[in-house]
Amino acid sequence: MKRYLIAFLLLGLTALARAQEPLSWQDCVQLAARGNPDLLSALYASESSRALYLKSFNGILPQVSLSNSYTNSKSASSGESKTWTAEGTASLDLIDLGQWASIQAASAGQRLGEANYRLAATNALLSLYRAFTSLRYAQDSIAVNTLIRDTWKVNSQNG
C-alpha cells in the first residue's frame, strides 16, 4: 500500500512539474529554507538561546537606580511650596560565582541551540535531496517509458 501511495505522489508531482517551469536544485533549497517548519523552529530556538546568553551578562554589570519627585503644595500660612527631589544609587557585585555559572550555562545553551539548528538544516537538506532525486528518477522513468511506448507503436505499425 505504501508503495502505491509513493508512486501516486511521485506521478502527481511529476505532472505538477510538467505544468510549471522545472525547479532547479538551488530553487528547491531556497524554498525549503523559507518554508520548512522544523528548520524555522530551530532557527528561532537558536536566536532565543543567543538572546538568553546575552541576557545572562546583566547579572555582572553595574546596577543603577534613579528616582525623582516633584511636590507642589499650598498652605495658608506659608504660601506656595515647590519641592524637587532626585536620588540615585549604583551597585556592583565584584564576585558572584552564581552569575558566572549562569553565563556558562547560557553559553552552553547557545551552543546547543546552534547545534540543533545545524542538525535541523542537515535533516531538511537530506530529506529534500531524497525527494528531489526521487522526482528526477520518476521524470526520467516517464521519459524512458514514453520512448519505449513510442518504439512499440512504430514497430507495431511497421510489422
**What are the beta bridge partners of residue 65?**
89
Domain encompassing residue 149? 2-60+96-158
Q: How many domains does the chain have?
A: 1
pLDDT tens, residue order, the chain (159 aa): 445 445 444 555 555 555 567 778 888 788 888 888 888 899 999 999 999 999 998 888 888 888 888 877 776 676 677 788 888 888 888 778 888 899 999 999 999 999 999 999 899 889 888 988 898 899 889 989 999 999 999 988 886
pTM of the model: 0.59
Residue 116 covered by a domain: yes
